[in-house]
A = this chain, B = another copy of it.
């Protein structure tokens, strides 16, 4: 991997030690150029020709295919969505759970997953894993599974601790398994078939370096028939009918801005060009981050987890984040927890990490 070439494509890195892909990834130059080209065409040519619509539809399929390949999903099993939150809600609401049903989840989930669970009508059983060693997460989760469990819903990588959760070990229990992949897809290798999950969400704007409000939802082939379509879009139906499209396509959540699709396609192509070596490099840099930060403050994230490194600073986390931003280091705090999170990517340099550590 040619680090200098990678970094030259991500202009924000020239200005900051940008360590917040867990919120929004650094945008590649080509993604913004692709969006600008689309806007200029829309401005001058209008948004109405046969080419415009055919192009937009083809672009949707191109992006769908790239996302599908990225997470090892079979063809036709990924819906295009605007976010992980939306993907979670489509799956949870579609199951049509009631007060007799139970959902098993954890105490480290993002509101994007917890919100849909809260409004589902089902009883929620929460496994407490935040303060336990990662190796104990499976036992804690299993202790909450009962004959009434109708859904197991949890993150692949915890946004608050960086822990890698035991997805594979929770699969194939006769209970649908929904995985919030927001912090995993693009940061670590993902293979939804090997994981054995039923639903898996992807965020475009984080580790995939895409525009905001892009994403995907994997639905295991066959499971689509068990999900009600509650918020249909133009793309839910076979053209000219109200027959649901095959597979996950019926859950396409609506028109995604054409420029955003262009941008995401460019971001995905960029990562593809960097190649699979990017995952190993991101892991190495995350480990280096853990070590450097760990020399100054207590690190929450255990070794060998993900590309999120969470730590407990000496002072107020929000003030530290602001001060770091002023010093050219971009991280985020985790409100309510007293922690700060650094997101490390294949684009991260040793110098980025040293800049972070030097200010702790």
Contact = CB atoms under 8 A, between A and B. Distances in A.
Interface residues of A, number: 68
A355 interface: no
Given A119-B230, A230-B93, A236-B115, A255 B46 contact: no
B230 A89 contact: yes
A49 B230 contact: no
A231 B230 contact: yes
B50 A322 contact: yes
A49 B11 contact: no
A241 B242 CA distance: 38
Nearest to A121: B228
A335 to B, nearest CB: 7
Nearest to A336: B240
A89 B231 contact: yes
Interface string A199-242: 00000010000011100000000000000111111101100101
A15 interface: yes
A26 interface: yes
A294 interface: no
A348 interface: no
Contacts of A89: 230-233
Contacts of A40: 32
A12 B45 CA distance: 6
A115 B232 contact: yes
Interface stretch (A16-24, A126-134, A143-151, A171-179): A16-24
Contact of A233 (B115, B242, B322): B115
Interface in A231-276: 231-234, 236-237, 240, 242, 253-260
Given A116-B231, A233-B85, A254-B86, A20 B46 contact: yes
A83 B32 contact: no
A287 to B, nearest CB: 23
A234 B116 CA distance: 10
A264 to B, nearest CB: 11
A114 interface: yes
A225 to B, nearest CB: 14
The 3 closest A-B pairs by CB, nearest first: A24-B47, A115-B232, A89-B231
Given A12-B43, A27-B47, A230-B230, 17 more contacts: A15-B44, A16-B46, A20-B46, A20-B48, A24-B47, A27-B42, A50-B325, A83-B255, A89-B230, A115-B233, A116-B231, A118-B242, A212-B255, A213-B254, A213-B260, A231-B231, A240-B335
Interface of A: 11-12, 15-16, 18, 20, 23-24, 26-27, 29, 32, 35-36, 39-40, 42-50, 82-83, 85-86, 89-90, 93, 111-112, 114-116, 118-119, 205, 211-213, 228-234, 236-237, 240, 242, 253-260, 322, 325, 330, 332, 335-336
11 contacts: A27-B39, A36-B36, A49-B330, A50-B322, A86-B233, A89-B230, A93-B230, A115-B232, A118-B232, A212-B258, A213-B256
